[in-house]
Structure 1
Amino acid sequence: MLSVERFEIAGRSVWIAVLWRERIQGITFALDEEQFERNIERVAAFLKRRGVKVDLTQKASDYPSLVRDVVIGRIDNSEVLPELSFEGVTPFERRVYEWLTKNVKRGNVITYGSLAGALGTSPRAVGGAMKRNPYPIVVPCHRVVARDGIGYYTPRLDEKVFLLEIEGVKRWTNSKLT
């Protein structure tokens, strides 16, 4: 199923979509409607390539509001982990996503290198996992930054900046943005 809602957050329209069956299979969001449609197609295609059965029939659920509540800080990211299906993610990706979600809290960031060190892997492998994250916002890939700037393992840098700004992380959002 696909649940879609638009919210006003920090003076911006934010579209949130959640693909789900028994649990959340994927999440996407955007700051403009045109990009949002592409994002839904992208996450659905990714999940299908990973062998996940995706149904894009629209059906209302509480999931978009749950994701919104994470964005605005009403609930902690780790509280939503049990709602994620982890279908189609590798054991490595799941380990990265769970560690990040449990250990890097709202208003904080971690570098790709520090996260890699905590997990005994390489910064490039962590960056790849962040880029493939099917659960953005809940699994806070936006909180993973380069040591010298915001980091570029994201398809939409403006959305990463938006999420960090909402969380009050100014140092990184003022760093290299081009």
Structure 2
Amino acid sequence: MLAVERFGVNGRDIWIGVIFHGRIQGISFAFTRGELLERIRNLAEFLRGRDVRVSLDVQPSNYTELVYRVLIGELENEKALPELSFEGVTPFERRVYEWLTKNVKRGTVITYGSLAKALETSPRAVGGAMKRNPYPIIVPCHRVVSREGIGHYNLGIEEKKFLLELEGVKEWTG
């Protein structure tokens, strides 16, 4: 199922889309509805490529509100973890996502290298997991930055900056 909802955040429209079946299978967001729908199609294709059964039949859900509450800081990221299905996620990715969500709090950042060190893996492996994160906002991959600057973000640098600024992050370096 797919739930889509528009919210106002800091004077800007944010479209949140959640793919779900029992629990959240994937999340995307964008500044326009059209952009969101394109991202949802890409996310659904990604999930299907990982053998996740996805339906894009539109159905209202409280999941969009849950993601919004995490986005604005009304709900801690960690409290939303039980709502994620983790379908199609590798054990390594799940370990990275859970550690990040539990340990890197709103308003803070961590470098790829520091996250890799905490998990006893490589920065490249961490970067790959961030790129494949199907749960942006709840799993705060936007809080992972390069030691030289903001780093990459699968949904776009403008979106990453928006999320970090919304959380009160002033400097991108770790």
Q: TM-score, normalised by structure 2?
A: 0.97
- Alignment partner, residue 108 of structure 1: 108
Structure 1 residues 1-178: aligned runs within 5 Å: 1-172=1-172
Q: How many positions carry a matched residue from both structures? A: 173
* Alpha-carbon distance in 2 for matches of 1:147, 1:34: 33
Shift of 1:122: 0.5
Between the aligned residues of both structures, percent identity stands at 64
User: What TM-score do the two structures reach when normalised by structure 1?
Assistant: 0.95
1:108-147 deviation line (CA, Å, top 9, x unaligned): 0000000000001000110010010000000000000001
- Report the secondary structure of 2:107's partner residue: coil
TM-superposed CA distance for 1:35, in Å, is 1.6
Segments of 5+ residues of structure 2 without an aligned counterpart are: none
Out of 108-117 and 33-42, give the one that drifted further: 33-42
Q: Check conservation: 1:25, 1:87, Cα contact below 8 A.
A: yes
Which deviations, in whole Å up to 9, do the C-alpha atoms of 1:40-67 show, x marking residues without a partner?
Answer: 0111001000000001000001000100
Moved over 2 A (4+): none
Q: CA RMSD in A?
A: 0.9
Task: Using the TM superposition, give the Cα deviation of residue 171 of structure 1 relative to its aligned residue in structure 2, in angstroms.
Answer: 1.0
Spell out, residue by residue over 1:122-178, the C-alpha distance to the aligned partner (whole angstroms, 9 max, x if none): 001100100100000000000000011000142411111100000000111xx7xxx
CA distance in 2, matches of 1:168, 1:97: 22
For 2:8, what is the secondary structure of its paired residue?
Answer: strand
Q: Is the 8 A contact 2:142 2:153 kept in 1?
A: no
SS at match of 2:6: strand
Matched-pair contact (CA < 8 Å) for 2:17–2:27: yes
**SS in structure 1 opposite 2:65?**
helix
Structure 1 range deviating more: 8-17 or 32-41: 32-41
